[in-house]
Structure formats: C-alpha cells, structure tokens
Amino acid sequence: MSLEGRFDADEGLVRVGSDARQRYHDSRGYGYPLEGNEIALAPVEAAHLLYRGDLDSIVHAETGERLGFREFISREPGDDFGVRFLVYADLRSRGFYLSPAAEPWVPDPPGGEADFAVFPRGKGPRDGEIAYPLRVIGERTDVPAAELAEGVLAVVDEESEITYFEIDRRDPTGSSSGDAALPEDCEAGLLADRVVVWEPPLDLYERTFYGQPLEGREYDEPTLQCSLLEATYLAERGAIDLEAATVRERGREVEGERFDRRLTVYTELREHGVVPKTGYKFGADFRTYADVESVENLGHSELLVRVHPAAYVFEPRDLALDVRLAHGVRKTMVFALVGDESDGSEEIEWWSLERLTP
Amino acid sequence: MSLEGRFDADEGLVRVGSDARQRYHDSRGYGYPLEGNEIALAPVEAAHLLYRGDLDSIVHAETGERLGFREFISREPGDDFGVRFLVYADLRSRGFYLSPAAEPWVPDPPGGEADFAVFPRGKGPRDGEIAYPLRVIGERTDVPAAELAEGVLAVVDEESEITYFEIDRRDPTGSSSGDAALPEDCEAGLLADRVVVWEPPLDLYERTFYGQPLEGREYDEPTLQCSLLEATYLAERGAIDLEAATVRERGREVEGERFDRRLTVYTELREHGVVPKTGYKFGADFRTYADVESVENLGHSELLVRVHPAAYVFEPRDLALDVRLAHGVRKTMVFALVGDESDGSEEIEWWSLERLTP
C-alpha cells in the first residue's frame, strides 16, 4: 500500500502519517520523526519517494490539489531544486542515505554551504556519524574560493550528469634539499624572460633541481636556463650574481601581479622541502616533487599546483578541466590561494580537489 | 679547423667565407649562398654554429669586437631571440633542418606568422619541399584566433621546455541520424536551466541520442532531461511542444551570449551528422560522436570541442591544458570559432590542435 503526503508550502515540508516512520524513516532514512508514526520530509525527499512510487501522491495542504511527481517537481520553486534532486537520487541509487544539512534532519549538521549530510554506507541520520558534507551546484554556478570547505562538491552538468569532487586541505611538505645546498654567486645573465646561469656546479641542477640544461653539447658543468621565479629565488639567497630586485622586476614586467603570487607559492614550497617545476605542459603553474635526491633518480611529480588570489572565483568547468587532467596523469590537483598583500598577509591556503566516485 | 663569422648588425646577418658553403650550407642546411663559397647566416643559425663549436667566434663588423656564444646571444636584441634559438636547436638535435621563413633562405616561404620553414627529414632548403611552417612563441605570448594557421606552433615554457602543436583545419562530419528521425510535439517542461521531456519515444534517446534518462526506475519510454541547447534545437524542429524562443531566451538568461555561439555550433554539428553531447567532464563545450546508430552501441567520442568567438585570444597555457587533456582521453581537441552575428555572418572556423613530437 502506498501512502499519501500533505504538502505545506509555507513550511516547505511534506508530512506523511500512518506507518511512515517505520517504513520511510527508520528503515530507509527519509525525513525526521514527528509525533506518533508521522514524519516530515524535505521536498527533495518527498519528490524521491514520489518518483520511486513509494508515495502515491502529495496533497497540497492549502489548495487540496493532488500532485504527482511531474506536478510536484514542476511547482517546486528555486533554481537549484532540480540539481539537488538529481544528486539526491544518484546517491540513493548508489546505496547511500543522505539528509538535508539542517536540524532536525541531523542533530549536528555541517555548516557552510553544505546542502546534504551524507552518511557512511549502511548508516542513517540517527547513527550519529556523517561521512561528509555535500554541496550541490549546477555547472553554471560560480564558486568563490572563500567557500571551499572540506567535504564533497557535486556538480550537475547541463545534461544532468554529475561529477563529484572531494575537497581537502593539503599542505605540501617534502624532504628535498634546502637552501644550505646552494652555491654562491654563480655568474648569470638575464635574457628577456629567462635567466642563464653560466656553468654553475653540477649539483645546482642535478641535486637541487634548479633550471634546465642547454642541450646539444657535452658538458660537465652544464649551462642552466632558469625561469624568472627560480632566478629570483636563487638571487635572493645569493646563489647567483644578479640583483634579486632586478629579476623580480623583470618577472612583474612579463607577468604582472601574477608573478608575485607565484613567487610566494614557489618560495613556500621550496622552504617546505618541495621542488616546484613549471606545470606548463599540464596547464598549471607548477608540478611538484616532494623528495628530490637527484634529478637522475627523479620520481613521478605528485601534485599539480594552480595559484590564485584568495578572492578568486572558480568556474565549475575549469575545476572539471584541472581535476580531470591531474587525474589522467596520476597527480593531485592543488589550488594555492594567496592572501592579498595589501592587508599585510601573504598566507597561502592549500586545497586539493580530487574526483570521487561515491 | 673552425671558421670565423662577420656580423653586420644593420643587416642582421653573419657572413662566413672560406669553404663555408660546402661545410655549412650544402651539407648541413645553414644559411644561404652568396658569391663564391661565402654564405649568409641568420643570427639564430650563427648562434647555433657558435654553440656547437663549429664557428670559433663572430667578429662584429663595426666595432671589431670578438663575440663567443655567450656574448653573441647576450647582445642579440629582441625578446624572442631566445625562444627561437631554443626551438631551432631542439629541431636540429632531432635531425631536422630548418630555415628562417623568408627569402632568400627558402625560395617560396610560408606566409603568416611563421618563423621557420621546417624541411622533411633528410631534406634541406634547396630541395624544394617544406614539411611545415613553424611559429615559435614563449608561453606568455597570447595568440589571437585570427592568427591560427595550418602548420606547427612551438611554445617555449618558462623553464625552456618546448611543446609542439600541430594545427589543422577540421570540419566535423558524420553519419548520425538527421532531423527526419525526430518525433513530433513531445510533451516537455522547462525546469530552471534544463528541460524535461515526458516519456517521448524511446528512439529520441536511444537512436538520436538526445537527453539523458532520469534514472532510478524501470521504463519503456524514459523521461528525458535535455540541456537547453538540445531543447532549443528540438523545439525549433517541432519535436517538443515548447516554444523555441522561450527555451532560447532561458538559455541566454543563464549563459549570456555564449549560449548563441554554442547553439550555432551545436546546430552545425547536428546538421553535419555529428552528435554533440556536453563536454563538461572534460572542461570543454562538447564531446562529439560522428556515427551514432544507437546509444546501446555507442563508440568512443572522437572530438572535444571548445567554442570561442572569432575575436578570441588564446593563452598558450590554456592551449596546453586543452590539448593535453584531449590527448589523455584519446580525443582530438577542436576549436570552433564563431563569427560575429553583428556582421551578419555566423560562420564557423574549425581548427584542430594536437600534440606533435617532431
């Protein structure tokens, strides 16, 4: 026997009586219990029960109108009901229970922009455990960097397919050689938008992985080409004989304010024992190596890093592109958000995004 | 015995006498012949011979200064000498000959923005055959779409690594069902930024691959969710019972002018027998299927399409990202450049970009 719900549009709730509590809440994690055996459902939960044929219909409390699935979802206002319904249904079909991220559905709901609390497989809203908070957006909804939070972001594309991203903090650290291994005052020249270091000790490349040797002739001490970032860092530490200010100025000329942000990130990575090299071939700012002992025995780079100002606003399509590419080359996509210098902070927030199959 | 060159800074040429013609031009494709055995070299060619140790030094014709490789490249003006030298040296080290894309180096030089003419392996400047024109840029040089031309684009990144892109015309065509296979007047509803088609004939999805079935219950005639692009196209052809203008208007509301450009491209693809589906998961506008007989036996999608206005300016980093991603998923990256409506043309230029290892 199917049941009928009563929709109170003001409250945005659907109430179901009879044995609803046992049938829908206790055994299948829908809604929250009211008096007796009655339960209250969020519209997305009610729509799912309608869609599955578990609810026969929903009666509009005010108008007495009887709504089937089609009528119910067509009248649901709000641009994001559709995308939330799709994700709710998708996770349900994968065997997960989830509730709106709000009391009284869950006793201690996740904050921020979360739409749902997703429970561990086999658990429900009353088991006191949340696997992750879930935010749902359409592919056209921009995401300000400040809204990133640990949890899962589900993006519904224009054809209603869903991509899940797992978002985490990720502070890169490694064991690569620090500044103690640097040479002093190597002869270097500034050429347009790069720097040539003329025959530095081989270790500068081979052990600490600065620059790129000019190829095409045999060498013991190779001539290295360094990026302006590498060269600024080296000049600041007296490893090459150029003025750091001169190199930095050139960097700003060719790259604008992006150069300073990237230098902040470059410097923090180096200081944490991680070697950043250009990520150009992956369309990123850097690829990174956490544990460089020598270039000869270089492992796989672990991260792709994209640098943004803290006030950046992500487009979901760009997230899809970055995360997909990183996944394809077995690296993790990391975003480094650099605080605004003007407020005195240059702190970096590090976030990783990875594809998730729930 | 090594030779010496004479540099005429006004002409931007290095002259080498003695047996230079036989040694450098005839047998190894450097420069062009002058009177007797003398040849003229472009600075990039002269720098390469210096670098290899084939030229001892170059004497500045005016000052009498003797320049080695280091002095010669440090004095070469122009921001792009460095990147051109790197690419010249790279192709040489791969066994190719190449000349500046100008007379008298080559009798019939490629036009446009080409920097070099690259000859087929084993051929040189006097063999009357050019493998491809080659343009060289640094990763910070933007590329206006209007400058795209058949040939190869070499991008030198900030750490002096080179990525080669092969650029070609690419008009997509296929054999998928045309409009004749469409149903008439299916019942449909506009929901925020998508359209639901209520139980259309199964063929609409299964044969012509419109929409995405709502999952989670059994069906014979599935309820389809269509993107606003699909729905506009279907409404224009009377296949669904919505006004095309209404759906198009909604598309413009949620996507701005990008919607019209994408609709132009969507329409041309469908009219040429190619099925476009969303490319969101790949960060592109569309992925395309040239020969859809049924969704059940759907092959691999062949292209990723990104839509831009004809006046678009590419950043090399974005090209790297797109082309790398497409390559990783075994598809070809295609850019559809849509003419400005205001000049009456909505013509599309199609360009493919693929990674090339010379």
pLDDT means over runs of 10, chain A (358 residues):
85 92 94 94 95 91 91 77 94 96 93 94 93 96 95 95 96 93 95 91 94 70 90 98 97 94 97 97 96 92 97 95 95 95 76 96
Give residues 286 to 345 of A whose Cβ lies within 8 Å of B.
Answer: 316-318, 320-322, 324-325, 328-329
Residues B185, B120 within the same domain: no
Count of C-beta atoms within a 10 Å radius of residue A137: 20
Residues A19, A44 within the same domain: yes
- The per-residue pLDDT for A79 is 67
Q: Please, what is the average pLDDT of chain B?
A: 92
B229/A74 Cβ within 8 A: no
Q: CB within 8 A of B218, min separation 6: which ones?
A: none
Residue A141 at interface with chain B, using a CB cutoff of 8 Å:
no
Can you say how many angstroms the Cα of residue A270 is from the centroid of all Cα atoms in its chain?
23
Which residue, among A76, A160, A263, would best test binding to B if mutated, counting the most B CBs under 10 Å from its CB?
A160
Q: How wide is the angle at C-alpha B303 spanned by C-alphas B298 and B305, nearest 5°?
A: 125
CATH number of the domain where residue A155 is located: 3.40.1350.10
Task: List Cβ<8 Å contacts ≥24 apart for A26-35.
Answer: A28/A97, A28/A124, A29/A97, A29/A98, A29/A99, A29/A119, A29/A124, A29/A125, A31/A105, A32/A99, A32/A104, A32/A105, A32/A125
Which of B300, B308, B312, B327 is labelled catalytic? B300
**Domain range enclosing A248:** 179-353
CATH number of the domain where residue B188 is located: 3.40.1170.20
Tokens coding A50: 């309608």
Residues of chain A with Cβ-Cβ distance to B328 below 8 Å are 325, 328-329
Residues A43, A61 within the same domain: yes
Count of C-beta atoms within a 10 Å radius of residue B183: 17
Judge whether residue B307 has pLDDT over 80.
yes
Residues B18, B85 within the same domain: yes
Residue A193 at interface with chain B, using a CB cutoff of 8 Å:
yes
Residues of chain B with Cβ-Cβ distance to A226 below 8 Å are 159
Has residue A44 been placed in a domain?
yes
Q: Which of B263, B294, B309 is the last residue of a domain?
A: B263
Q: Are B289 and B306 in contact (CB under 8 A)?
A: no
Judge whether residue B234 has pLDDT over 90.
yes
Residues A211, A277 within the same domain: yes
Q: How wide is the angle at C-alpha A297 spanned by C-alphas A291 and A300, nearest 5°?
A: 60
Residue A115 at interface with chain B, using a CB cutoff of 8 Å:
no
Amino acid at the residue B106: V
Residues B73, B130 within the same domain: yes
Q: Which of A62, A77, A92 is the last residue of a domain?
A: A77
Q: At what angle do helices A244-255 and A258-271 cross, to 10 degrees?
A: 130
How far is A101 from B180, CA to CA, in rounded Å? 48
Residues A104, A135 within the same domain: yes
Residues B21, B93 within the same domain: yes
- The per-residue pLDDT for A292 is 95
Residues A289, A231 within the same domain: yes
Catalytic, A289? Answer yes
Section B281-306 average pLDDT = 95
Q: DSSP secondary structure string, B60-78?
A: ETTT--EE-HHHHHHH--S
Residue A68 at interface with chain B, using a CB cutoff of 8 Å:
no
Q: Is B216 exposed, middle or buried (CB count within 10 Å of its CB: 0-12, 13-18, 19+)?
A: middle
Nearest CA in chain B to A325: B325
Q: Are B43 and B77 in contact (CB under 8 A)?
A: no
Q: CB within 8 A of B274, min separation 6: which ones?
A: B172, B173, B174, B176, B288, B289, B290
B161/A321 Cβ within 8 A: no
Can you say how many angstroms the Cα of residue A218 is from the centroid of all Cα atoms in its chain?
44
Has residue B121 been placed in a domain?
yes
- The per-residue pLDDT for A192 is 86
In which element (H, E) is residue A88 found? helix A81-93
Q: Which of B263, B283, B315 is the last residue of a domain?
A: B263
Three-state DSSP at A245 gives: helix
Catalytic, A132? Answer no
How far is B194 from A5, CA to CA, in rounded Å? 27
Tokens coding B289: 């299927």
Nearest CA in chain B to A187: B70
- The per-residue pLDDT for A16 is 95
Has residue A358 been placed in a domain?
no
Whether omega for the bond prior to residue B104 falls within 30 degrees of 0, making it cis, is: yes
C-alpha distances in Å from residue B74, one per residue of A177, A191, B17, B53, B248: 31, 7, 24, 17, 58
From the list B92, B159, B255, the residue facing A277 with the nearest CB is B159
Residues of chain A with Cβ-Cβ distance to B222 below 8 Å are none
Residues A108, A161 within the same domain: yes
Residue A217 at interface with chain B, using a CB cutoff of 8 Å:
yes
Residue A161 at interface with chain B, using a CB cutoff of 8 Å:
yes
From the list B74, B157, B284, the residue facing A191 with the nearest CB is B74
Count of C-beta atoms within a 10 Å radius of residue B127: 12
Residue A281 backbone phi and psi in degrees, to 5: -65, -20
A216/B93 Cβ within 8 A: yes
- The per-residue pLDDT for A322 is 96
Q: DSSP secondary structure string, B185-230?
A: -B-EEEETTEEEE-S--HHHHHTT--SEEPPSS--SS--EEE-HHH
Q: DSSP secondary structure string, B312-351?
A: -EE-HHHHHHHHHHHHHTT-EEEEEEEPPGGGT---EEEE
Strand partners, B337: B308, B349
Tokens coding B274: 């190619």
- The per-residue pLDDT for B111 is 83
Which residue, among A67, A80, A158, A196, would best test binding to B if mutated, counting the most B CBs under 10 Å from its CB?
A158
The residue ranking higher by pLDDT, A303 or B1, is: A303
- The per-residue pLDDT for B112 is 87
Residues of chain B with Cβ-Cβ distance to A53 below 8 Å are 217
Which band of pLDDT confidence, cut at 50, 70 and 90, is reported for residue B257?
very high
In which element (H, E) is residue B44 found? helix B43-52
Strand partners, B354: B166
Residue B194 at interface with chain A, using a CB cutoff of 8 Å:
yes
Catalytic, A123? Answer no
Has residue B107 been placed in a domain?
yes
From the list A74, A138, A284, the residue facing B193 with the nearest CB is A138
A320/B321 Cβ within 8 A: no
Has residue A27 been placed in a domain?
yes
Q: CB within 8 A of B263, min separation 6: which ones?
A: B229, B232, B233, B248, B251
How far is B274 from B276, CA to CA, in rounded Å? 6
**How many Cα atoms occupy the beta-carbon half-sphere of B289 within 13 Å?**
18
Q: What is the CA radius of gyration of chain A?
A: 27
Has residue A174 been placed in a domain?
no
Which residue, among B304, B321, B322, would best test binding to A if mutated, counting the most A CBs under 10 Å from its CB?
B321
Closest alpha carbon to A357 in A329, A327, A334, A337: A327
C-alpha distances in Å from residue A18, one per residue of A3, A68, A87, B260, B287: 8, 19, 28, 52, 49
Residues A211, A333 within the same domain: yes
Residue A150 backbone phi and psi in degrees, to 5: -60, 135
Has residue B75 been placed in a domain?
yes
Has residue B193 been placed in a domain?
yes
How many structural domains is chain A composed of?
3
Residues A196, A217 within the same domain: yes
